Amino acid sequence: MYRIGQGYDVHRISEGLPMWLCGIRVPSTTGFVAHSDGDVAIHALCDALLGAAALGDIGQIFPDTSDEFAGIDSKILLDRVMALLRFNGWELLNADITIALQSPKIASLVPDMRESLAAVIGADVSCISVKATTTERLGFVGRGEGCEAWAVAMLRKK
């Protein structure tokens, strides 16, 4: 049995906050406003994984009203989502993430991002794709107000 899922997330950008994407600290004077560490890419991936398994969404499983998740490293959230999938008999075949961010440029960090996600998931890095784009200065991403991420994931249950 195969299932596909998609996920989306957005976080506001502000000065003086840390910027985490795919579990990598991005060198930047700006970062993401969030209850957790604001890693939009991991949040989108978690929702794609949960969506494929029809197991709800990241907001249900890790409520932003809970102190337990305040400032939490999103790699922990991803690890817990993967454990939930495995408990339900699912394995990840591949995932593909697109990050829309105007600044800073993150293309050079993509190999580290893929390694970071693959390590948490326990998958080969060839199964994990990360792509970065700007929005040509259009919209809230283009004005540097926020960062968006989309993810798709394919799961298999034997």
DSSP-derived 3-state class of residue 86 = helix
CB 113 within 8 A of CB 41: yes
Q: For the segment 24-83, give every residue that binds Mg ion (CB under 5 A).
A: 43
| Binding region for Mg ion (CB under 5 A) out of 3-11, 14-22, 95-103, 107-115 | 3-11
Smaller CB separation from Mg ion, 57 or 137: 57
Q: By CB under 5 A, is residue 9 in contact with Mg ion? A: yes
Size, binding site for Mg ion by CB under 5 A? 2
**In the complex, least distance from residue 54 CB atom to Mg ion, rounded to whole angstroms:** 20
**In the complex, least distance from residue 2 CB atom to Mg ion, rounded to whole angstroms:** 27
Q: Which residues of 86-115 are buried (b: 16+ CB within 10 A; e: fewer)?
A: eeeebebeebbbbbbbbeeebeebbebbbb
Q: Strand locations in 29-115, DSSP E? A: 30-33, 90-100
Strands 90-100 and 128-133: parallel
Smaller CB separation from Mg ion, 79 or 91: 79
Smaller CB separation from Mg ion, 35 or 91: 35
Positions that interact with Mg ion (CB under 5 A): 9, 43
